[in-house]
Amino acid sequence: MTVKIDHIVFDIGRVLIHYDPEIPFRRLIPDGDRRRHFLTHVCNHDWNIEQDRGRGWDEAEALALSANPDFVNEIPLFRRHWREMVSHAYDGTVAILESLIAGGRDVTMLTNFASDTFREAQVMYPFLTISRGVTVSGDIRAIKPERAIYDHHADAFGLEPARTLFIDDSVKNVEGAIAAGWQAVHFTDSEKLARDLRSLGLTY
């Protein structure tokens, strides 16, 4: 039997706002093979996730530059053109977020995000400020799907894990939440999320 949900926790990237490093680099590195190498082997997910864990951009760029001297001009462009990577909000999911809050639901956010870029994102997208609060991985130096970040969020916001629903686009992050004792759904689009919420008795 499903336990009643009292708390709803949203991921942010690719749930509420779009994220795609290809967007600026299609212009900045027009050559497709060189661009794919850059985003796969130089400024890739594994490199970027360490900024989400709290590593500063100066250190990140220095490490990338020392290992990839052929990309000395392109590496600094990743941070410089970051805003282009978060190109738009997912309006359907934002509408669900706003309706849940307006309906009196307890809503927070839990995100893998560098501290500085998250604050920029809040300026770009003010709906990122309307929940009861946010745990940002770069602030606490722990990232999903590590158990520590779920426990930190639950403690910080007084959530009962079994009564908490987590929404994330990453299967690994969903599995991490479940391992921490939360309920969780895998996000693919706002229509599926609406169906998932209804199936759990969450009206808004």
**Percent of all residues in the chain with a pLDDT value above 90, rounded to a whole number:** 98
How far apart, in whole angstroms, are the C-alpha atoms of residue 132 and residue 123? 17
Q: What is the pLDDT of residue 1?
A: 56
Parallel, antiparallel, or unpaired for β 7-10 and 164-168? parallel
Average pLDDT for residues 107-130, to the nearest whole number?
98
Q: What is the pLDDT of residue 203?
A: 87
Average pLDDT for residues 145-167, to the nearest whole number?
98
Q: What is the pLDDT of residue 204?
A: 84
Mean per-residue pLDDT of the chain: 97
Q: What is the pLDDT of residue 49?
A: 98
pLDDT one-digit tens code per residue, 14-29? 999 999 999 999 999 9
pLDDT one-digit tens code per residue, 93-111? 999 999 999 999 999 999 9
Question: 163-198 burial, b for 16+ CB within 10 Å, e for fewer?
Answer: ebbbbbbbeebbebbeebebbbbbbeebeebbebbe
Average pLDDT for residues 142-150, to the nearest whole number?
98
pLDDT one-digit tens code per residue, 180-192? 999 999 999 999 9
pTM for this one? Answer: 0.97
